[in-house]
Structure formats: C-alpha cells, structure tokens
Amino acid sequence: MLFKVFAASELSRLFEILSVNRIVGPVKKGEDQHGRSLYDFDVVHDIAELHLDYGQTIHSAKNYFLPYRENLCTFTFQDEGSGDGGDWHKEVDYGVYAPLVLFGLHPCDINALNKLDKVLLGGRYPNPFYGEKRANMFIVGHSCSPQPFCFCKSMGTDSAIRGFDLFLTRMDDLYFAEILSPRAFHLLEQIDCHDPDSREHHRYMDLMEAKEALYVAHVDTSDLTKILDLEFQASVWQEWGQKCLSCGTCAQVCPTCYCYGVEEQVDMDFTRAHKEKRLYSCNLLDFAAVAGGHNFRPESHTRLKYRYYHKHRGFVEAFEESLCVGCGRCGQSCLAHITVPEVIASVRASKEEHDDD
Amino acid sequence: MTTNKTFLGVPVARPKVAFFELSSCEGCQLQLLNNEATLLDFLSLVEVVRFREGMKEASDDYEIAFVEGSITRRDEEERLRVIREQAKVVVALGSCACFGGVNQLKNRFNDLEWVKKEVYGSFPIETQKVKPLSAVIKVDLEIYGCPIKKEEVERIVTALVLGEQIHHPQYPVCMECKARENICLFDLGEPCLGPVTRAGCDAWCPSNRLGCWGCRGPAPEANLSQLQIIMAERGISQERMIDRLECFGGFAAFVAEVKEKKGEPK
C-alpha cells in the first residue's frame, strides 16, 4: 500500500477533480427531537454538503449498489392482431450509465461491500446488476469515530484493508491517505501531497491507538457458530420475538442484507411487463411462505432467529467471516431496541445458565 | 366500445365494471379519475357502466362492483345486497368500505341518539352504528387506504382482468418508509402507526413528515403490544395513541381490548 499526506485544505481540490462524476456521500438530513444531527448518503453537489464528520448514517449506502427497488427486465409484447401468439422481446438494463464516487464510506461499509462481493460476484452465478455498479465505482473511505453502538471492532471490520481506491484518515489539519488503486494514485498526483515522514507515521499510529479506546459496545464472537447451534431452542429467542415488529427495518438499513423478492407487473395496455426486484427481509411474515400456502416461519421469533443465524452462523460457515459488520444501524433504527450485542449476549447467557445446572 | 384484447395471444375479456358509493366522501373514486396519464388505459381494460363521478349513464349490468363507503343506514344494506346478487366480484374500495373509515368514529359513543342530536339537531335523519361492507355481505377483495392509492388499484384491476392472484403486502409501512430513506417520525417526537399498519401506500404520509394514522388497517402480524411500549417510552399518551388507532376503524378490535382493560365502556 502507498501512503501520502496532504493538507486538509486540499480536500476541496480532490472533490472538485472527482466531481465530473456523480458523487454520493454523507449529508445531513435533519435533526432529531433532541437536536442531534441525522445523516444519510445522498448525491452531493458541493463539498459544503459533505459531512465527513458524521457519526453514522441512518441507512447504509446500499441503495447505490443494491437498490431497494430495481427493474430486472422489461418485456415488450407484439401480439395485437397477429393471431398466432405474437412475439415478445426482453430488455435488460443494468442501469449503470456513469461512474459513481462513494465519498466518505467508513470501514464498516467498505467491509460490507467486500462481503457482498463474495456472495454476489464470487459464486457460480454472479449478479450482473450488482457487478456493473461495483465495476463503475470509485470509493473514497474516511476514518470514523466509533459511536456508542458501534461494534465493528468485535466483527473485525473496524479497519478496511481492501475494497477502496483511497482511504483518508483525518489528522487535524492533515489527511493521511492510503492508496489502493492506480486511479487513486493518479488522482493524488493532481493535488499537493507528499510522502509521510516518520513523525506523520507516528501521528497516524497514535490516532489508531486512541480509536481503540472509544469502543463501548462489544460482541463476543468466540465459538459463536456453535453456541448458536446449541442454543437453537433457547427461550431468549421467544423473548426477542415478542418485541419484534416484523417490520423489516433492520434489513432495510443493513449494509449487507441482500435478500429480495421479485414481482411481475403487466402494464394496463398489455404491451409491456416488468420484473421488479425489491429488497425483502427475513423478518417479514411471508418470507418463508411457499406455494400451497405453507409458512415455514410463521412466528416472529423464528424469523428473527434466522436473521441472526444467517449473519452469525451460516455465513461464517460458508465464508469464514460474519455477514455482520457491526455498524449498529439495525439496533439504532429498531423501535423495539433489538440490538445485536444484546441479542448475542442473551444467547450466550443462556449457554452459561446451562453451565450452572 | 368493445375491443378484442389479447395478452400473449390469449383473448382477454373486458369486464363490465360499476362504481357505487355508500356513506363516504367519494374521494376514492375521484382518485381513479385523477390519474389522467393512465385513465385511457384503465378504460380500455374495463368497461365502466356506472360511475357517478365520471359519467351520466348508469347500468345494472356489471360483473365487478367497486363499492366505496360504509353502511350507516338500512337502505344502504339493502342496496349492498342487490349489488352482491348482481356482481361476480365485490370490491370494498377504501377504508370506509373495509373498516368503516372515518365514519365509524361515532361508534365510540354509546348513545347514538345523543350523537344524532348533537350533529343534526332536530333534523330528522336515520343513522345507525357504522358497519364495514363485510358485516353485511361477503366481500371478495379489499382495497385499503384513505384514500386508495390509484397505482395500487390499477395493479389490482390488471391482475383481476388477467386472472392473476392478488397479493397485498404482508409487512408494515416501516418497510416502505425505510426504502424511501425517510427520517423515522418517532425520532422527530411524532407518533406513527407505521410499525403496525399494512403497507402498500409507499409510506405516503411519513414521506411527507406526517406520522401514519393507520388508514390501511393492521398488518397481518401487527405487534400492538410492542406499539404500546414504543408510544409509552416516548411519552406519547395512551389517549393519543387510541385516538389515532380509532380514526379509520381498522384497529377497532384492539382499541376495544385496550378500553376494556382500562375499564372504559367500549
């Protein structure tokens, strides 16, 4: 990896050079009732709109690589009057017409993309809709300050070692830049920057050390896959299930939830039809409902449980890492206060209860 | 106008459709007329034989009846039974038809004679306890909302004509609200019934910074006990919550349960 250092005042130059493309970054959406700022990712036209000091956004940047709704294909029918069943055409549009710059992703969200890449691009049937977007993406990561609900440290996603072009760490009046791609290297050539000296190395390392101390929330992941299997029948699941609203909020704000449903819709004039993909959630009532009417998970606690099983067990067994990046968004958005650290801790506690027996 | 429409080479019948209104504002019917961009397509899909908001002619030869409004008089019950006999498919259009709608707010008063006097004074008028269509006849399909969402009606009517299954969302409004990346109304200190209300409106009100009032009724698995906790935690009084839940009638059973627990008359 190459490192460079530049003055914070140079950032606007960097932004300006990138701004020939569409730039998406953290912007302030408003304030909550206590005056706290609320952030989300959105298209940024002016660097003044970019709030790189954001704690966490409400939603992930998912809409830009896994849209909540996406047209998979359009069918055009030509059967009027033909009498023989007519003809039809299928048109697929990945919807990528220009590169996108994601400016200011935290390590958790960069790691989320790395994980999604494994599922959506690494398998036998890569997802071309996702792949097109990923191939046309320039990612500028940005350092973060851990929030009280962040547990990325526990999930091993507190730093990003790949999956970005450029990663910027703010050091007061300086930016410490990590360069991972030739594009990023050439970009930095266009602004005033220099190789870091040993003093700047130390400043960077001191900063990383100081960050460690800021984590409040933790998840103990040791032997978690086994504990989840052993505690499949634990009563804590029912307790969490009683709280769960089965509303899908957790999945919608999650940077790695990729489950979806597909709906077909015929236009009223019968000349065209669309197949639309909509992100879905395993917490929704009919997630495991099948043809014939049977629902494999009619109770909310079983659905909630399987969400945790996918993130913290199934994915680990398949890819040797958790699907959860510890961004804490699901817990922050959940009106019933169902948070990952508490759920995992309660399942672990039921293991300890058995140990006491 | 008769057209021999086909879909993928298969002839598709153009059903005769009639619109009726019981006690309602007829706003749901107006919603359909409101969609100029697709109105002609809608009219090519079905043959409208009765639609007071849009035409003078009125025929009793129809296959699909869209009935807006709730039942507040005996003659409305009779009218509805006649419609049921004639129509192959009866569709309850909008919250009034599905749950009683805003009209059923008067049901909260025990003494309907007092209500009548308070509203109409000495004017002679017949009015009874408000009922949804399903209390009088078998309803084949319910289209929720106050008002209905025209895009949803168009989708449902297309499915009806093509003989496809009709799916209502099984999840609450939150799912759609999050997809629109709205700020949660609870974060702004506003009550919202989004967590328990059936989706399909594309989070219409929350997207305009108005908390959901539950016009589409409860989602199939509405966690109402958790809703009470959510409201209480945020200092939103039970009275205010009940007021909202009562508005369109979809949550009537739950409201009655809460009131009974409180020892209040239903």
Q: Which of B128, B162, B196 is the last residue of a domain?
A: B162
- Is residue B22, in this structure, part of any structural domain at all? yes
pLDDT in tens, A277-296: 999 999 999 999 999 999 99
Report whether pLDDT(B100) > 90: yes
Measured torsion, CA atoms of residues A294, A300, A301, A303, in degrees rounded to the nearest 10: 60
DSSP state of A49: G
Is A269 at the interface with chain B, CB within 8 A?
Answer: yes
Spell out which residues of chain B touch residue A85, defining contact as CB-CB under 8 Å. 8-9
Same domain, B141 and B239: no
Same domain, B156 and B196: no
CB pair distance less than 8 Å for A281 and B171: yes
Same domain, B128 and B43: yes
CB pair distance less than 8 Å for B170 and A284: yes
Q: What is the pLDDT of residue B11?
A: 87
Report whether pLDDT(B4) > 80: no
Q: What is the pLDDT of residue A1?
A: 84
Q: What is the pLDDT of residue B9?
A: 79
pLDDT in tens, A167-182: 999 999 999 999 999 9
Q: What is the pLDDT of residue B1?
A: 46
Spell out which residues of chain B touch residue A59, defining contact as CB-CB under 8 Å. 178, 181
Report whether pLDDT(A142) > 80: yes
Spell out which residues of chain A touch residue B225, defining contact as CB-CB under 8 Å. 242
Report whether pLDDT(A85) > 70: no
Same domain, B82 and B150: yes
pLDDT in tens, B194-245: 999 999 999 999 999 999 999 999 999 999 999 999 999 999 999 999 999 9
- Is residue B242, in this structure, part of any structural domain at all? yes
H-only helix segments in B130-172: 150-162
pLDDT tier, A87 (very low <50, low <70, confident <90, very high otherwise):
confident
Mutation choice for A interface testing from B43, B181, B196, B209 by most A CBs within 10 A: B181
ipTM above 0.90, yes or no: yes
Same domain, B81 and B53: yes
State the smallest CA–CA distance between residue A243 and chain B in angstroms: 6
Ordered DSSP codes for B35-63: -HHHHHHHHHHSEEEE-TTT-S-B-S--S
Q: What is the pLDDT of residue A353?
A: 73
Asked if A281 contacts A288 with a C-beta cutoff of 8 angstroms, the reply is no
Same domain, B150 and B211: no
Asked if A130 contacts A66 with a C-beta cutoff of 8 angstroms, the reply is yes
pLDDT in tens, B133-192: 999 999 999 999 999 999 999 999 999 999 998 989 999 999 999 999 999 999 999 999
CB pair distance less than 8 Å for A77 and B7: yes
Q: How many CB pairs under 8 A join A and B?
A: 125
Where residue B83 sits, what CATH number does that domain have?
3.40.50.700
| Reported pTM | 0.94
Facing residue for A284 by CB, picked from B154, B155, B171: B171
Q: Which of B143, B162, B181 is the last residue of a domain?
A: B162
Same domain, B45 and B137: yes
- Tokens coding A278: 């909509």
What percent of chain B clears pLDDT 70, i.e. is strictly above it? Answer: 98
Q: Which of B162, B194, B218 is the last residue of a domain?
A: B162
Is A292 at the interface with chain B, CB within 8 A?
Answer: no
- Is residue B167, in this structure, part of any structural domain at all? no
Lowest mean pLDDT among A111-115, A307-311, B29-33: B29-33
Give the mean pLDDT of A11-25: 97
Is A80 at the interface with chain B, CB within 8 A?
Answer: yes
Mean pLDDT of chain B: 93
Same domain, B149 and B223: no
Asked if A88 contacts B7 with a C-beta cutoff of 8 angstroms, the reply is no
Same domain, B156 and B177: no
CB pair distance less than 8 Å for B183 and A270: no
Same domain, B156 and B181: no
Number of domains in chain B: 2
- Is residue B234, in this structure, part of any structural domain at all? yes
Mean pLDDT of chain A: 94
- Is residue B151, in this structure, part of any structural domain at all? yes
- Is residue B53, in this structure, part of any structural domain at all? yes
Range of the domain at B226: 173-262
Residue B128 falls in which region: left (phi positive, over 0), alpha (psi -120 to 50) or beta: beta
State the smallest CA–CA distance between residue A34 and chain B in angstroms: 8
Give the mean pLDDT of B111-135: 92
Same domain, B133 and B207: no
pLDDT in tens, A301-318: 999 999 999 999 999 999
In whole angstroms, what is the distance from residue B40 CA to residue A269 CA? 9
- Sequence-distant (≥ 6) Cβ neighbours of residue A242 within 8 angstroms: A300, A301, B225, B226
Facing residue for B158 by CB, picked from A58, A85, A266: A266
Spell out which residues of chain B touch residue A242, defining contact as CB-CB under 8 Å. 225-226
- Is residue B168, in this structure, part of any structural domain at all? no
What percent of chain A clears pLDDT 70, i.e. is strictly above it? Answer: 96
Same domain, B100 and B24: yes
Q: What is the pLDDT of residue A123?
A: 86
Backbone phi, psi, residue A276, to 5°: -115, 135
- Tokens coding A107: 């390590």
- Is residue B202, in this structure, part of any structural domain at all? yes
